[in-house]
Amino acid sequence: MKTRTVITGTGCYIPRHIKSNRDFISQKFYTDDNQSIDIPQEEIVEKFQLITGIEERRYIQDELNSSDMATMAAQDAIAESGIEPETLDQIIVAHNFGNVIKHTIQTDILPALASRVKHDLGIRNPACVPYDILFGCPGWLQGIIQSDTYMKAGIAQKILVIGTETLSRVLDPYDRDSMIFSDGAGAAILEAIPEDKTDSGVLSWCVQSHCSEEAFYLHLGKSNHPEADCKVRYIKMKGRKVYEYAMQKVPAAMKDCLDKAHVPIEKISKIIIHQANEKMDEGIVKRLYRLYGIQDIPDNIMPMNIQKYGNSSVATIPTLFDQIKKEKMTDHIFEKDDIILFASVGAGMNINAICYRI
């Protein structure tokens, strides 16, 4: 029997600590070659907000870590779906840095975050298999894609997919790019439902990776501060390279996904894109429509929450999706049979897209 992979429950965890752009005005920044940036801090912050759209971001509380946020988001998703946790076949957790305990410099991924979530949820079923995905910012979508593959193969019926990240604990405070990053977690329950019982679910997907010169556009490196300990490494990004790569590659991958589903772009209700950078996301969507010969983008097609939450990597898409689904965003709602196009790009460099019917 053919099935559809359907999201039956979602949840998210938004950290309480708000860090506004004004909080960076007293911070001294340096270039990647350790030179002082002698531009007024107010000007740096204003230009940053103009480009990225970010006004504030969320940082995790000291006593919590990535797996804690993942568990709380998962509990919300399980509650909404109404499933029994012991019936889960898999728990997939997408992240990039594992648990980074506050004031430490070592990543903790032993055991894997998915194993910790299974433990914290109290699931004893040995047939529930937990594992992690390291796939850059597209990690949560990749978990959905893997789930769809398992379900269509008849191997799994119920899967929990989580994206969780604490970028605040791996950022370099002397690097202007550090203002982009934030923390958060989002989760979804996916179930394999017979096609004769639903029209909802995953319609198609596309995945691409470019790992030649692009592989190290995001990487770990020494602090920009000239006297920093070279043995301690932080998240680093070649911002211009990432932007150019995304503009060139992501729209084509999104089009490929739609074409596989035989869905005209005019049928798309919402584009849920990784909240990386407001200007970049707007540019990606404009180029997608131009691939179809369309110059004018429909109103209200691309919801964004980056203004208040920043870039939380694997958590941005599930967090945004959960907020719209639960009508927590004033200007955006989902209607039955809406067709959604998800898309993400990130470290690797990796790209993926999913066409999904509500």
At 41, the pLDDT band (50, 70, 90 cuts) reads confident
pLDDT tens per residue across span 122-176: 999 999 999 999 999 999 999 999 999 999 999 999 999 999 999 999 999 999 9
Total domain count, the chain: 2
Same domain, yes or no: 168 and 142:
yes
Mean of pLDDT values over 328-357: 96
What is the distance of C-alpha 189 from the center of its chain? 16
Amino acid identity of 175? D
Same domain, yes or no: 20 and 167:
yes
Tokens, residue 21: 């752009």
At 305, the pLDDT band (50, 70, 90 cuts) reads very high
pLDDT tens per residue across span 67-116: 999 999 999 999 999 999 999 999 999 999 999 988 777 788 899 999 99
Same domain, yes or no: 186 and 206:
no
Rounded Cα distance between 158 and 7, Å, is 10
Look at residues 197, 225, 259 and tell me which one is the last residue of a structural domain: 197
Percent of the chain whose predicted confidence (pLDDT) is above 70: 100
Q: What confidence score (pLDDT) does residue 108 get?
A: 87
| Residue 226 reports pLDDT greater than 80 | yes
Rounded Cα distance between 344 and 138, Å, is 5
Across all residues in the chain, what is the average pLDDT?
95
Look at residues 146, 172, 197 and tell me which one is the last residue of a structural domain: 197
Same domain, yes or no: 209 and 184:
no
Same domain, yes or no: 137 and 231:
no
Q: What confidence score (pLDDT) does residue 238 get?
A: 93
At 289, the pLDDT band (50, 70, 90 cuts) reads very high
Q: What confidence score (pLDDT) does residue 111 get?
A: 96
Q: Write down the pTM of the prediction.
A: 0.95
Same domain, yes or no: 158 and 205:
no
Please list the alpha-helical segments (H only) found in the chain.
Answer: 41-52, 66-81, 113-121, 139-152, 239-261, 278-291, 306-309, 316-325
Domain range for residue 164?
Answer: 3-197
pLDDT tens per residue across span 174-214: 999 999 999 999 999 999 999 999 999 999 999 999 999 99
Cα dihedral across residues 164, 170, 173, 178: positive or negative: negative
Q: What confidence score (pLDDT) does residue 130 get?
A: 98
| Residue 230 reports pLDDT greater than 90 | no
Same domain, yes or no: 133 and 21:
yes
Distances (CA, A) of 92 to 129, 151, 258, 337: 8, 14, 25, 27
At 259, the pLDDT band (50, 70, 90 cuts) reads very high
CATH number of 66's domain? 3.40.47.10
Same domain, yes or no: 19 and 80:
yes
Look at residues 173, 197, 221 and tell me which one is the last residue of a structural domain: 197
CA angle 291, 295, 299 (to 5 degrees): 110
Same domain, yes or no: 259 and 167:
no
Each as own residue / partner, the long-range contacts of residues 233-237 (CB below 8 Å, 24 or more positions apart, any chain) are 234/170, 234/171, 234/172, 234/175, 234/178, 235/167, 235/170, 235/171, 235/172, 235/181, 236/32, 236/172, 236/175, 236/177, 237/177, 237/180
Amino acid identity of 273? I
| In contact, 93 and 133? CB cutoff 8 Å | yes
At 250, the pLDDT band (50, 70, 90 cuts) reads very high
